[in-house]
Amino acid sequence: MNTRSVTSSNLRLYFSLLAALIFIGSTLGLYLATALAPVMITVISLSATGFACMGFDKSLARSQSLRVPEVVLFTIALLGGIPGVFFGIHFFKHKTRKPYFQFILLLIFCAQLYLLRLFDIRLL
């Protein structure tokens, strides 16, 4: 991709579609291969998507190419993929020098825990 011809909205759309394909593929695979509850399949698929996007962004960072916008990573985490994003941070050692990124993820995680507790939702 030519960095001059790519706008930030096009970049968000491109990586959002890529994340959606990863999510759909992993959801379909888990649905066909396991007998897990739909909520668990969704959380696992979103986590796999978050992990894959963190790894992809790390490889793009090394090649000094276009990057996965942080709003895409935050959206994946907000939708339920926060375990995969957290694991991706530590596994790929990516975004470890961005305290604001980790702080926002921590806020998302705390809000999700609060909502799970408030509505008495159990994942297992």
Angle between helices 8-33 and 38-62 (to 10 degrees): 140
Q: Give residue 83's identity as a one-letter amino acid code.
A: P
Q: How many residues does the chain have?
A: 124
pLDDT at 93 over 60: yes
Q: What is the structure's pLDDT at 99?
A: 93
Asked if 71 contacts 104 with a C-beta cutoff of 8 angstroms, the reply is: no
Q: How many CA atoms lie within 13 A of 122 on its CB side?
A: 1
pTM above 0.85, yes or no: yes
Confidence of residue 50 (pLDDT cuts 50, 70, 90): very high
